[in-house]
Structure 1
């Protein structure tokens, strides 16, 4: 008889169980029964060609096409498909550059990027799942606009992921009786999961990375305030038009309000404090740069990173232990969205490595022809900086993409803020705003989609979502180009 696992450890066991197929495949690909050699320091970017980017392209195509064309197969075997693409990348890499390079790349992707990313997402998802925010009215236009505007503001203060996880369930609950709901979630991704994050360095990882590189908090707030305000107002106006039209076509579209009780109730408030604790932990871990760093088999082990990860685990467990199970039941809380996102991102974090390595070569790499467009007669072309950093951020990790273009622009924060502020603004706007172009453009996008589908909302496919984003966001970004660059 197997021992009973404590209830607060169930998410960890659940995630490990559902990702076991991928991890076993990766282990079979890169682990050989021999002593661990000295790992290669980094991917040999100078020797790479664009062919190495095919597994990443295949991963993206699988995420985009398989749920649409092969929904049953994808639902049952998505982990195996993602693992297959990882294998098709790691096997040739290990054969060509040595097993140590394959092990080093996988260890770096898992230990330094994927696990910290998933721990943060797990903490935010768990804590937000214990907060029940209820409005005693149907999702009217006014209520939806209020929630979107509030979420956009909170995204700049506590991060896009935290704000999205906090407000997505109240938004879904408010619109539960409506027939037309998909557009509400799409605009929520646009505004709360992306645009709102541009307000401060706390809002989105690219701006926080710039803050760590010396870009002032006040600079980001003062320069990004107007672009965020313009984009938010335009999208809210478009949303009002669409929501008004669909509200008029609701089978029973009328607002029902109970006057005998408060309009707003919040339960599970302890989780609100824990959410702010998560924000504080992330902020302090980025600011504290003088903590010890060890190198083990060429892996960087930072004391601040380990403390951050440990504190995130402790905060997550506190949220599970201190929250009544009834509150999570009211939210229809389960681990399915976390399981889905964890399977997809493990493939993205591994296969994206050659793409980022080639980008970091700048104009000397295979992407040099494209990157040369950002300069004209020695002067930066700010509009190209905006569009190129943005389009890449829509499909790659926006934080390293920001860093690539930050370095291409000179890499000196004081110089950029003083003499090339428009260039820095272009990189900041592109990296943050255009994360809304696809489901994988920013971390909370896929989480929001998974939670909405769990609540029975028919969300558009990968390509279907891009039809929304291209139709609504590309004209907005053209307006941004005319106004600011």
Structure 2
């Protein structure tokens, strides 16, 4: 019994670090979690989860490949167990249900739908790569990324681009710029383009807000990078020896698009998102204190149906030729379940602003006059997006800026522009900044491209991306 008493004292001591005893955290089924008085120790599971994503693939890749789901479960329980002991099952259930219904499920359903549909589209035939052709493919992918997502555009175009440049000695730069433009920067114009922007859409940001407010940022950065790539490609192309001539047009080499039955399904995905933005029937359901509106349910059901239809109408052989498998989306689903769970107290603390444990971070992005420092929002959101994951990073700074979509689209529109641009653009800084980066890396290495190491890739991004981001800061955020 004495041993039990000592263990009870230890548990009580740990819990007292997590939430001050003087705080009145009344747990009820519908009460929102207050970040005032919450200890920064609550951020440990979230930080641990993101650091695991960043470091395990580099330091223990084999272990991570086989056990990433267990790692995600560990960090999820590292938050869930002490949170339940501290606040009770009612508060825990409310927070988990709220996060699942309003954030995680819509997020993963959209990603899965785009991944499934784009995986059924095959660009067949042979393209002869060269400065003009490769630049055109990168430009096309940059545009497509905002229409079918960075994941969709990357998966549709990376294989034909690699086939077009087979046999070349110098093709690393082509894959690197593909990651810059197609896997990241191109997805900045709609919520379909990149996961951070879809999270903003779920938080109330209008569907076409990013189209109008990030167009100039995207045009400047993409334009500079496309010109830089073209000049670099001309240089490397001139150094190629024994380069095969363009093949004669034939049934085997003629460019064609297969899986065309999936193209209308891509438009169906866009239609489902627009429907949820424009249709307001005023019907909602209360699910354990969470307001769930009818149009959101209809959107997610339609997206699931689109994915199912794509699977049913697309020949398996076509997906196999596309190198399609379910592992990437399963990995994203497991990892983001833990991320969205462990971020719950972090968001609560950020919402507390200067009254929360992250007050120094608030001070860093807030000027003496109380107004947001937009350049700081751009670089902090972007810097963390490059090394952690841009979707939860966007969410953190969105809430740090107040979390009110109407306010951020109005008086604080430049702040939201800085957060959005930082999260999307700087996901290109490293291989781990955005999910498609690693997928493209894996496919390129499998096709024999000697891709640079983690830090070698960063050398490319430092040289070509940081000057662009400095220019964007000077033009729009100072």
Report the TM-score when normalising by structure 2: 0.80
Contact 1:56 1:351 in 2 (8 A): yes
Provide the aligned C-alpha RMSD in A: 3.4
Instruction: Please state if 1:434 is matched with 2:431.
Output: no
| 1:422 Cα deviation after fit | 4.4
CA gap 1:443/1:120 in 2 versus in 1, 3 angstroms: farther
CA gap 1:342/1:74 in 2 versus in 1, 3 angstroms: same
**SS of structure 1 residue aligned to 2:36:** helix
Q: How many residues of Structure 1 are paired with residues of Structure 2 in the alignment?
A: 445
Please identify, of 395-404 and 284-293, the stretch whose mean Cα deviation from structure 2 is larger: 395-404
Please identify, of 402-411 and 45-54, the stretch whose mean Cα deviation from structure 2 is larger: 402-411
User: Within 2, Cα distance between the matches of 1:320 and 1:215?
Assistant: 31
Tell me the residue number matched to 2:188: 198
Tell me the residue number matched to 1:16: none
1:320-349 deviation per Cα after TM superposition (whole angstroms, max 9, x unaligned):
111122211221222222233223222222
Contact 2:126 2:160 in 1 (8 A): no
Larger Rg: 2
Tell me the residue number matched to 2:472: 480
Contact 1:206 1:432 in 2 (8 A): yes
| 1:181 Cα deviation after fit | 4.8
1:389-425 deviation per Cα after TM superposition (whole angstroms, max 9, x unaligned):
4335443525534633553799536742xxx664454
Contact 1:156 1:197 in 2 (8 A): yes
Unaligned runs of at least 5 residues, structure 1: 1-36
Tell me the residue number matched to 2:158: 168
**SS of structure 2 residue aligned to 1:80:** helix
Tell me the residue number matched to 1:270: 261
Identify the match of residue 330 of structure 1 among 317, 321, 324: 321
Report the TM-score when normalising by structure 1: 0.79
Instruction: Please state if 1:354 is matched with 2:374.
Output: no
Unaligned runs of at least 5 residues, structure 2: 1-26
Tell me the residue number matched to 2:129: 139
Contact 2:114 2:152 in 1 (8 A): yes
**SS of structure 2 residue aligned to 1:45:** coil
User: Within 2, Cα distance between the matches of 1:168 and 1:146?
Assistant: 13
Tell me the residue number matched to 2:399: 404
Tell me the residue number matched to 1:384: 376
CA gap 1:96/1:464 in 2 versus in 1, 3 angstroms: farther
Contact 2:147 2:193 in 1 (8 A): yes
Contact 1:392 1:401 in 2 (8 A): no
Instruction: Please state if 1:153 is matched with 2:174.
Output: no
| 1:108 Cα deviation after fit | 3.7
Mapping of 1:45-56 within 5 angstroms?
A: 45-56=35-46
Tell me the residue number matched to 1:120: 110
1:61-97 deviation per Cα after TM superposition (whole angstroms, max 9, x unaligned):
2222222222222222221122112222222222222
Mapping of 1:365-384 within 5 angstroms?
A: 365-373=356-364, 374-384=366-376
Please identify, of 376-385 and 50-59, the stretch whose mean Cα deviation from structure 2 is larger: 376-385
1:125-149 deviation per Cα after TM superposition (whole angstroms, max 9, x unaligned):
1111111113523433332211111
Mapping of 1:75-86 within 5 angstroms?
A: 75-86=65-76
